[in-house]
Structure 1
Amino acid sequence: MKIFLLEDDTSLNKIIKLSLENKGFFVENFFDGYEAANIILNNRYDLYILDVNVLGFDGHKILEIIRNENINTPVIMISAEIDIENIKKSFNLGCNDYIKKPFDFEELFLRIQYHLSYKKEQNSDMNIELGYNFTFNLLEEKLYKHNHEIELTVKEKLLLTLFVKNINKSVTNEMIHEYVWDSKEMESVSMRSIIHKLKKKLKNGMIINLRGVGYKLISIE
């Protein structure tokens, strides 16, 4: 699961990121609203955590951008602001939850679990049959063979999610770079290494190389 975090308090930002990563989430963390706005317009996440008061665009503006893009992903606002008008504004703009600082991390984690489980109920049929007895659950980002889970790393989960969302279609190297590495600088060998490792966890020939273009996940009916 990819979580977007906007929090300008350096210490709190790092604590939330580390805590969620220890729970198995992939977290992209940001400190500045302007940078966050650019990322949101070009990427998709499973849940957003936004601090109300940050540099550049504040959390309310970022929330507005998210909803204007017709993104229905859960958004949790966090803030030291406790006045009812501030809370009302957050909900009017479309947030799903509002947590007042200071808060216990377990409270944040429980709320994340709740919103992701509700999203799961709304998208109950997320098991995608890949053929050769492989199944991938898009919401949980879990790969199964004969109902036995095959362990995936965070980047393998992101990569396979991208492939499954574009099953039997070309996935360019640029798409992989953007989705798995969030367009951050990387060595080309890193991409090839992750793809090679994922191929070994699937049946030979399910992921094919499209020379000069990218890759394709082939589904066998």
Structure 2
Amino acid sequence: MKVFLLEDDFALNKIISNSLKNRGFFVDNCFDGYKAVETVMNNSYDFFILDLNVIGFDGHKILEIIREENKQTPVIIMSAQIDMENIKKSYALGCNYYIKKPFDFEELFLRIQYHVQKQNKTDKFLTTLGNSYSFDLLEQTLYYKEQSIDLSVKEKLLMSLLVQNLNSITSIEMIHEYVWDSKEMEAVSMRSLIHKIKKKLKSGMIINFRGEGYKLINHEEY
């Protein structure tokens, strides 16, 4: 899963970022509101973690920008500001949870787990794909008969996106934005990545819709 982190305290930013990376997340971290605006407007994420008091645009403004385009993706606000005015404003603007500093990282991670479960409407993170395959969205791990299959960084991102859009077309634009951060790429690069994933799944599980995108099929539902 791709997480965006805004925290101006360098040490805390690194602790959170490294802890999430060690748990299999892909993290883009910013230290100020100026860079944060540019980053969130040009990339796609599965989760946002925002500090309130940062240089430039504060966490509330970043939250407003996120909610203008994205109503569903979970957002956690973390702040040393514990007054009710800031807490009420954060929820009014659309945050999912307000965590007060200082906090234990495990508390933050439990909140992330809860909202990921809620978003995917499941009691577990393991998504059954059929043909003895499954994918753990939280750990970014593909399994075949409970045996994990090695995936590269981009393969993990692509599988995560396909699983989140299971049985629906994942557009070429979505893949470009999510896997390549909308950066310039050759069309052959995407085809090559899709081909590598197909080789790790049973034939027919990924369907190509020419000019549109790709669909990961859960055969157990058909």
- TM-score using structure 2 length: 0.74
Shift of the alpha carbon at 1:125?
Answer: 10
* Counterpart position of 2:112: 112
Query: In 2, are the aligned partners of 1:3 and 1:46 still within 8 Å (CA)?
Result: yes
Residues 6-53 of structure 1, C-alpha deviation per residue, up to 9 Å, x if partnerless? 112222212211111111111111223233233333443222100001
* Counterpart position of 1:201: 200
Q: Distance in 2 between matches of 1:7 and 1:185?
A: 28
* Counterpart position of 1:155: 154
Residues 5 and 187 of structure 1: CA distance in aligned 2, closer, same or farther (over 3 Å): farther
CA RMSD between the two structures: 3.6
SS at 1:56's partner residue? coil
Overall identity of the aligned pairs, in %: 62
* Counterpart position of 2:4: 4
Query: In 2, are the aligned partners of 1:33 and 1:62 still within 8 Å (CA)?
Result: yes
Q: Output the amino acid matched with 1:66.
A: I
* Counterpart position of 2:92: 92
Query: In 2, are the aligned partners of 1:33 and 1:55 still within 8 Å (CA)?
Result: yes
Q: Output the amino acid matched with 2:161.
A: L
Q: Distance in 2 between matches of 1:73 and 1:45?
A: 8
When structure 1 is superposed on structure 2, of 38-47 and 51-60 the one drifting more is 38-47
Shift of the alpha carbon at 1:204?
Answer: 5.3
Q: What is the aligned residue count?
A: 218
* Counterpart position of 2:177: 178
Residues 135-184 of structure 1, C-alpha deviation per residue, up to 9 Å, x if partnerless? 44667754343455434344322112334537685753x64342113235
Q: Output the amino acid matched with 1:25.
A: F
Q: Distance in 2 between matches of 1:89 and 1:218?
A: 40
Residues 103 and 168 of structure 1: CA distance in aligned 2, closer, same or farther (over 3 Å): closer
Residues 22 and 180 of structure 1: CA distance in aligned 2, closer, same or farther (over 3 Å): same
